[in-house]
Amino acid sequence: MARNFRIAPSILSANFAKLGDEVDNVLRAGADIVHFDVMDNHYVPNLTIGPLVCEALKKHGVTAPIDVHLMVKPVDRIIPDFAKAGATYITFHPEASEHVDRTIALIRECGCKPGLVFNPATPLDVLDYTLDKLNMVLLMSVNPGFGGQKFIPYVLDKARKVRQMIDDRGLNVSLEIDGGVGPANILEVAKAGVDTFVAGSAVFGAAKDSDPNRYDTVIGALRAELAKA
In terms of C-beta density within 10 A (0-12 exposed, 13-18 middle, 19 or more buried), how is residue 209 classed?
exposed
SS3 assignment, position 201: helix
CB 163 within 8 Å of CB 196: no
Q: Is 37 a catalytic residue?
A: yes
- In this chain, which residue has its C-beta nearest to Zn ion? 69
Say which DSSP state 149 is in: P
Q: Is 178 a catalytic residue?
A: yes
SS3 assignment, position 8: strand
Contact flag: residue 13 with ligand DX5 (CB under 6 A): yes
CB 74 within 8 Å of CB 102: no
Spell out the alpha helix ranges (H) of the chain.
19-28, 51-60, 79-84, 100-109, 127-130, 155-168, 186-191, 201-204, 216-226
Contact flag: residue 45 with ligand DX5 (CB under 6 A): no
Q: Which residues within the stretch 164-183 sit at the binding site for ligand DX5 (CB under 6 A)?
A: 178-181
Contacting ligand DX5 (CB under 6 A), which of 31, 32, 33, 37? Answer: 37
Which residue number, 46 or 216, has a Cβ lying nearer to Zn ion?
A: 46
CB 218 within 8 Å of CB 31: no
Contact flag: residue 10 with ligand DX5 (CB under 6 A): yes
Contact flag: residue 69 with ligand DX5 (CB under 6 A): yes
Stretch binding ligand DX5 (CB under 6 A), from 96-104, 141-149, 162-170, 211-219: 141-149
Q: What minimum distance in Å lies between the beta carbon of 229 and Zn ion?
A: 22
What's the rounded Cα separation, in Å, for the pair 105 and 147?
A: 30
Which residue number, 93 or 168, has a Cβ lying nearer to Zn ion?
A: 93
Q: Which residues within the stretch 144-163 sit at the binding site for ligand DX5 (CB under 6 A)?
A: 144-145, 147-149
CB 104 within 8 Å of CB 132: no
Contact flag: residue 122 with ligand DX5 (CB under 6 A): no
Contacting Zn ion (CB under 5 A), which of 5, 23, 29, 37? Answer: 37
Q: Which of 32, 40, 67, 178 is catalytic?
A: 178
What's the rounded Cα separation, in Å, for the pair 75 and 72?
A: 6
Interface residues with Zn ion (CB under 5 A) are 37, 69, 178
Which residues in this chain contact ligand DX5 in the complex, by CB under 6 A? 10, 12-13, 35, 37, 69, 142, 144-145, 147-149, 178-181, 198-202
Which residues participate in catalysis according to the annotation? 37, 178
